[in-house]
Structure 1
């Protein structure tokens, strides 16, 4: 072998590779920017979470009577809130008060010498595992359901033992999987040790010590976390990252091969010459990439489930249902990856160029999946809306056994929104023949973000606008969470719904009249909306809520929230009835409906109603708000105006607010959770039907755009089609 030839070829290949700017970006710029930013973000996240946990007081349930002076010592310790008998079932409370429940026999604890760590060279002794008993089961339920952070049980004999100078017993029940619970246990154990040392000092000062006097009482921390939760914590730290990374790889290479690879082989041009439409091309390629990614995810889930079941003891094996749900959660993630990678790879000229194009997207997505290994990253309102991260933390919560219905619903809905946006982006890219043939176009032209005078937006623009507004609303509402409820509602409606809607319409040059439905409505249309606004709540409440009732605590909390903390009635009416009627209707029956109208009235009404229900962020409110959204969309369709819907919306909310505020005697049963009588339900149905008939008989000409606006919309569509075709010819 001639080394000189090898050196020449090596130098040639390195020069050609490093001459490529994208290679330099991938090798130098991306690592230099990505990892410092990632490290800073993670350190900030961990620091903020640790500071927030340190600042939060620990809520400790006390199941029993604390000895004299001990309660005062614990309360004075700081950041400890004592809640007597919080979360204690009646039978456990009765058993502790009567002395029927005694501490289970366990190993004799070692004397406390004030040292937290074992002597050097000795391993820390394992904590005693308490046998199953009513107190342990009740404490586990109270802590795992987050009613309290820990449970303190001063056993019934404690007061008498301390009174005679003997030794009492205290148990601390906590959940080591929950960081807040572990913090509460550490705080409580430290406070009890300080109290014990003080008692011992007082006894020593008095002299005459009986047996056990120098110990005062034993503190026995007991971890209530089940073995399955501990195993789930370990699996939940690594499983989401591995599964999502493998799903990424499953769509990474196929996306490049089906786009840039075809350009390199020359088969993309042949495909474009065939009598097929761009939407057919993108659909076939997307489904191929998605199926491969989905099969990759399925194979990894099955393999991991079999591996875990083989390695772990039977008592610790995670059930197959958990792995099945994990695979279901990976479906929206694979949709997102497949659409996004396919849309980015089509810009590349060859396979190598495709790898360079996808790496800047691959790295951040993989890092988002990786941060779930941090203990502080949990499923909460902040992470439930973060793309990819929300599914990763949801899988983590699933393994631990902590996946609240509302947050699970929010994470799935947000993931579906991101997947839809990626699909719309991919479809938009594949419509540009110049890009498919290897040409270049400005990003504004590809995304359709250019300013357009007159007309209404497309369906893709409206859906993208809704997703953007929804994310803005969610994170913005978290930023103002510490303000009063009235301020939160006003800022959310005006700042996160109304202002972005008007800014999008004005910024992109759409016609406010055609897009937002700012037209006068007929008298029949307003009368129909009036009847629906008065009666729709009875029809929906007597049917939907009868078969799908919301949990009583949720309904009670929602009722208290609607009253805005005791604000005057005019303020409540303005913020809960009038403001949402204006702000939400301009978004959902204005901007969103206008874009979906091209797909037909049924699609526009149904999809806008569904998005209206999803935007309220609760699975328990989805069906009622969806039903109301159908009526609001029908009013917009029949009248061509947003005004009847705003009237209907304001009356519906206003009646609910008035009932909650004034609490009339005839509605007392309804306010306490009773079902709406069938007589009231039927009356509401009859009046609602009359309102729908009035809407149906309103002027049909109002359902169509005005002639000049319709002409502008058609001209704009022709211009877009010509631009797409012209670009392809130039390519």
Structure 2
């Protein structure tokens, strides 16, 4: 891939997006002007409505003349209300007939039947005409005061202390939640939905324009006739759409923050001026929110482009994109539902995980393990979306023809014996393995315990083997099945020792920064110790991963990412690219936040040894040796911080 070409495609697409009025409207006008105006209008209408309700006064109808105690309480309430210029008085009407008709017409706000008994009252209201509940709350407050007053009167008949009897204890509510967290909880219910919708609107019109718009204008054919690869074209267009979605979401954040700041300074029915926000504590939450939105924008942009690629006109693309909007908008409401939080299950569900992550970080209730899991899951979905997009761009029937015969994997009959997988094949295998780890492994572990993880390890090895069989691959070349020399074995041991030292240092630093993550290491230690005797532990945690994971990563994925077409036939950069990328993907697969960086480094060391020795047995040896030492360490001491991979 040529960076210069991608830059030119990116510039061209950005200019096209900027020229399109609909895209500019959705990217700039909606977040910068429309949202604040709508929020101000809503707040103004709500203030006006509440002021109107309170200034109208309250009319209470009685079936007969009320007791003097009730009238005294109403008089005291009216004296208080007269001090407030905007509050209307409470009026009383006696001997009301046909109360239902009067309640429906609004002649009275409540009817109190006091004819049957002095101690048994029925209060009739019409909630349809008092939606806010302001009037009914005042009426029931009067009745409660009347009840207390009559209780005191009855108790005093027996020369008893009514205060001690009615209030034997006193308590005071003390909320330990700080103001920043209160604000975060309030914002965490609404902001995720608004941001997700902002991203959706920010990418839809650019995606339609760069795909269906290009077809309608007849310029897509011209692009394909240029001396550029399909992948360069895909990435250039994808970056342009993603940037527009990210820009829209950032403008949404700025716009909402400014609008919120305005309301905090101004008086409203929700008097936010009393709330003091600790902006330093919210800084980390805002940073995580921005990263989450960027990842989400990348996923949605790729999906929108995939869908729009099936349309031939702008109007047709708008029809196709509607189901995607519904699929994203409905799960986005999850942040508004109470008692639903981010956990290991919800963190793996697209859209829901982003919504709940933003809700949790704004509520200052951040679990870094869950944050890492959400980031990893969304990165995987970015990979999936890009694989689909690249496959679509390689299908001219989809882009230009009437046919719809889209194939994720090339037909086996068109492949030659001894084929070598490309990057898209490597990503596809990684995605399948990741989905197996994410969804199949937990089910197996619930059913058969730790042995379920071993079965999933075998599945991880079978995925690349089956794909290699399908593409008629050269097994010896792809999986580097060669004898290992003594010099290669010595190099492997030395580099592993260096890697182990580096991993231990990084793990120590990460635990210092995130001390709560030491629980992850303790959980892992307990899992190992509870799996059986030391021989069983070695088989489960050293032998099986050393074989299965190496077949997947240093076998198929490393071979796929060594595809010379990525950087050009004579450019050796593809080796470094394959070593680094396969190592990072290996680290991500381990999911736990504290293990991702150290494991990625050891993954790179193992890939380097496979490249130098041309034998997968060098990485299998390192993998086994590392995990074997970890298992031994767990059995020797309970405080070991192991580097299991």
Specify if TM > 0.5. yes
Selected match of 1:560 from 525, 529, 533: 525
- Superimposed CA distance per residue, residues 31-87 of structure 1 (whole angstroms, 9 cap, x where no aligned partner): xxxxxxxxxxxxxxxxxxxxxxxxxxxxxxxxxxxxxxxxxxxxxxxxxxxxxxxxx
Q: Give unpaired runs (5+ residues) of structure 1.
A: 1-118, 126-208, 677-731
Is the CA contact 2:444–2:453 (under 8 Å) kept in the aligned structure 1?
A: no
| Aligned pairs (5 A) from 1:277-296 | 277-296=229-248
Distance (Å, rounded) in 1 between the aligned partners of 2:255 and 2:436 = 39
Selected match of 2:263 from 311, 335, 342: 311
| Residue in 2 that maps onto 1:505 | 468
Distance (Å, rounded) in 2 between the aligned partners of 1:503 and 1:219 = 69
SS in 1 for 2:563: helix
Structure 1 length as normaliser, TM-score? 0.58
| Residue in 2 that maps onto 1:231 | 183
| Residue in 1 that maps onto 2:631 | 657
The 1:345/1:494 distance shift into structure 2, 3 A limit, reads same
1:250 paired to 2:194: no
- Superimposed CA distance per residue, residues 580-639 of structure 1 (whole angstroms, 9 cap, x where no aligned partner): 111111111112112111152211111111111111112211232122112211121122
How far 1:482 sits from its partner (Å)?
A: 4.3
Is the CA contact 1:293–1:334 (under 8 Å) kept in the aligned structure 2?
A: yes
How far 1:508 sits from its partner (Å)?
A: 4.5
| Residue in 1 that maps onto 2:153 | none
Selected match of 1:371 from 322, 328, 334: 334
SS in 2 for 1:258: helix
Is the CA contact 1:301–1:323 (under 8 Å) kept in the aligned structure 2?
A: no
| Residue in 2 that maps onto 1:608 | 582
Is the CA contact 1:501–1:586 (under 8 Å) kept in the aligned structure 2?
A: yes
- Superimposed CA distance per residue, residues 136-159 of structure 1 (whole angstroms, 9 cap, x where no aligned partner): xxxxxxxxxxxxxxxxxxxxxxxx
The 1:377/1:362 distance shift into structure 2, 3 A limit, reads same
CA RMSD of aligned residues (A): 3.5
Distance (Å, rounded) in 2 between the aligned partners of 1:514 and 1:275 = 31
Is the CA contact 1:485–1:565 (under 8 Å) kept in the aligned structure 2?
A: no
| Residue in 2 that maps onto 1:544 | 506
How far 1:563 sits from its partner (Å)?
A: 2.8
| Residue in 1 that maps onto 2:442 | 478
Distance (Å, rounded) in 2 between the aligned partners of 1:595 and 1:565 = 37
1:592 paired to 2:566: no
The 1:564/1:486 distance shift into structure 2, 3 A limit, reads farther
The 1:556/1:545 distance shift into structure 2, 3 A limit, reads closer
Is the CA contact 2:180–2:278 (under 8 Å) kept in the aligned structure 1?
A: yes
| Residue in 1 that maps onto 2:306 | 343
The 1:255/1:556 distance shift into structure 2, 3 A limit, reads closer
The 1:412/1:233 distance shift into structure 2, 3 A limit, reads same
| Aligned pairs (5 A) from 1:40-59 | none
Deviates most, 240-249 or 523-532: 523-532
| Residue in 2 that maps onto 1:112 | none
SS in 2 for 1:651: helix
SS in 2 for 1:621: helix
| Residue in 1 that maps onto 2:105 | none
Distance (Å, rounded) in 1 between the aligned partners of 2:421 and 2:171 = 67
| Residue in 2 that maps onto 1:578 | 543
Distance (Å, rounded) in 1 between the aligned partners of 2:433 and 2:344 = 16
Distance (Å, rounded) in 1 between the aligned partners of 2:312 and 2:373 = 39
| Aligned pairs (5 A) from 1:91-490 | 223-312=175-264, 313-314=272-273, 315=275, 317=277, 319=279, 321=283, 322-444=285-407, 448=410, 450=412, 452=415, 453-480=417-444, 482=446, 486-490=450-454
1:624 paired to 2:598: yes
| Residue in 2 that maps onto 1:85 | none
| Residue in 2 that maps onto 1:73 | none
- Superimposed CA distance per residue, residues 214-269 of structure 1 (whole angstroms, 9 cap, x where no aligned partner): 99977877554334333323322221112111211111122112221222222333
The 1:509/1:382 distance shift into structure 2, 3 A limit, reads farther
Distance (Å, rounded) in 2 between the aligned partners of 1:356 and 1:257 = 14
How many residue pairs get aligned? The number is 467
Is the CA contact 1:263–1:438 (under 8 Å) kept in the aligned structure 2?
A: no
SS in 2 for 1:443: coil
- Superimposed CA distance per residue, residues 663-709 of structure 1 (whole angstroms, 9 cap, x where no aligned partner): 4xxxx9xx4679x9xxxxxxxxxxxxxxxxxxxxxxxxxxxxxxxxx
The 1:587/1:275 distance shift into structure 2, 3 A limit, reads closer
Q: Give unpaired runs (5+ residues) of structure 2.
A: 1-123, 126-135, 142-160, 265-271, 565-573
Answer 1 or 2: higher relative contact order, Cα 8 Å, separation at least 6: 2
How far 1:334 sits from its partner (Å)?
A: 1.4
Distance (Å, rounded) in 1 between the aligned partners of 2:307 and 2:137 = 57
The 1:283/1:224 distance shift into structure 2, 3 A limit, reads same
Higher-Rg member (1/2): 2
Is the CA contact 2:480–2:614 (under 8 Å) kept in the aligned structure 1?
A: yes
| Residue in 2 that maps onto 1:493 | 457
Distance (Å, rounded) in 1 between the aligned partners of 2:430 and 2:218 = 39
